[in-house]
Amino acid sequence: MSPTMIAPVMEEENKKYQRGVKHLCDNGLTKVPTKYILPEPDRPIFTKSDKLIKSKQNLKLPVIDFAELLGPNRPHVLQTIAEACETYGFFQVVNHGMEGDVSRNMIEVCKRFFELPYEERSKYMSTDMSAPVRYGTSFNQIKDNVFCWRDFLKLYAHPLPDYLPHWPSSPSDFRSLGARYAKETKEMFEMMVKAILESLEINDRDEAAEELEEGSQVVVVNCYPPCPEPELTLGMPPHSDYGFLTLLLQDDVEGLQILHREEWVTVDPIPGSFVVNVGDHLEIFSNGRYKSVLHRVLVNPTKPRISVASLHSFPLTSVVKPSPKLIDEQNVPKYMETDFATFLQYVSSREPKWKNFLESRKIHYVR
Ligand code: OGA
Ligand code: NI
């Protein structure tokens, strides 16, 4: 075919993938299309017989019991949080106060959203990174060369009254269940911020605490359909989260992996728990003490998976910098000041990969 013939064909092919993985799978699929096949070094490691090369490594993350955090054992729990944030960048939370119904209903209504006809879901499709509601596929569907096996719905959630009217009106109970979930997650985040600041020995009446209370919240619903050849692709490529903290609710299907001591390890889902992880902004704020750790998502051949990530940070207009309380002559700032506008510009201008945004904010001292 001459190059002039290839271009329209490719464009037509690309358009098909822009509609997302769910749409692709609904039409029946036995092989992963080339668009989703990662270069060999980036693939998850499976042997030819579809077994993991090493015995599969699952990781039990440190578990924080929220009820204990609020009791006489608080100092000990704070110590566990500090160690988890330093060593793993991740921990799990149980007894967090959110009723089982609230989280189960959220997962369930999100499932029903992704089961709606494509025409209904696609009403929320947008390439504008700052749209209050955005339905899409892959990681950055404009820039990604290889697509990942994921569709998503991104909802701005704070202040809720500003955004709720933009949220999907179908399924009819989406807004009410989603709003309850977003509100309760925000409360959980606020308790978590108090604990995190205390673990860094920063007073919780710190200016940062106030800013975080009025900060941004984005709820991202991830949908990973079953994949016929999971060894060739990923649900999400290795990335770190850009906010302060992410609170992740998973259904009972595993898939999340974190990079720990240079190995990918799978996080064991604990039913009803939340996985909490340090984002880039907390790494910067803690001047590098707490780590924003790379993570990725595996897909599997049989089970669809849904997760709901609630990303929390400072207000969109705030400047993020190492806390002045942690800086002195011995502890020089390791990161430049940064803001959301810079971040959004950064991610929309290139393929977001690894931790390159955070790397770009590091100060390299010449001795
Ligand atoms: C994310 C994320 C993990 C998952 O949304 O940033 O890392 O298990 N999600 O879906
Ligand atoms: Ni993430």
Residue from 236, 258, 355 to probe ligand 1 pocket by mutation (most atoms less than 8 Å from CB): 236
Question: Around ion ligand 2, which residues have CB less than 5 A away?
Answer: 241
pTM for the structure as a whole: 0.91
For 11-65, how does the pLDDT look when each residue is reduced to its tens digit (9 = 90+)?
677 778 999 999 999 888 899 999 999 999 899 976 444 445 455 678 889 999 9
Cα 204 to middle of ligand 1, angstroms: 28
Pick left, alpha or beta for residue 262 (phi over 0 → left; psi -120 to 50 → alpha; otherwise beta): left
Kindly give, in sequence order, each residue whose CB lies less than 8 Å from that of residue 173, ignoring residues fewer than 6 positions away.
Answer: 109
Which pLDDT score is estimated for 349?
63
Residue from 21, 223, 250, 295 to probe ligand 1 pocket by mutation (most atoms less than 8 Å from CB): 295
Residue 250 CB less than 6 A away from ligand 1? yes
Which pLDDT score is estimated for 200?
96
Average pLDDT, the chain: 89
The protein residue whose alpha carbon is closest to atom 5 in ligand 1 is: 309
Q: How far apart are CA 97 and CA 152, in angstroms?
A: 27
* The CATH number, out of the four listed (2.60.120.330, 3.30.110.40, 3.40.50.300, 1.10.3720.10), of the domain defined by the range 12-37+55-361: 2.60.120.330
Cβ atoms of residues 135 and 152 within 8 Å: yes
Cα 294 to middle of ligand 2, angstroms: 8
For 317-350, how does the pLDDT look when each residue is reduced to its tens digit (9 = 90+)?
889 999 999 999 999 999 988 887 777 677 666 5
* Better pLDDT: 29 or 366: 29
Cβ atoms of residues 90 and 308 within 8 Å: no
For 93-116, how does the pLDDT look when each residue is reduced to its tens digit (9 = 90+)?
999 999 999 999 999 999 999 999
Tell me the DSSP string of 319-367.
EE---GGG-SSSS---B--EEHHHHHHHHHHS---BTHHHHHHB-----
Residue 294 CB less than 6 A away from ligand 1? no
Tell me the DSSP string of 125-139.
B---TT-SEEEEESS
* Better pLDDT: 317 or 133: 133
Residue 307 CB less than 6 A away from ligand 1? yes
In the three-class reduction of DSSP (H, G, I as helix; E, B as strand; rest coil), residue 312 is classed as strand
Give the mean pLDDT of 314-319: 87
Cβ atoms of residues 233 and 172 within 8 Å: no
Which pLDDT score is estimated for 141?
79
305-313 and 90-94 beta bridge pairing: unpaired
- CA 91 to chain centroid: 14
For 169-199, how does the pLDDT look when each residue is reduced to its tens digit (9 = 90+)?
999 999 999 999 999 999 999 999 999 999 9
pLDDT band at 207 (very low <50, low <70, confident <90, very high): confident
Cβ atoms of residues 261 and 188 within 8 Å: no
pLDDT band at 230 (very low <50, low <70, confident <90, very high): very high
Structure-block tokens of residue 299? 């897909």
Instruction: Identify the CA nearest to 22 among candidates 144, 123, 124, 122.
Output: 122
Q: What angle do CA 268, 271, 275 make, to 5 degrees?
A: 60
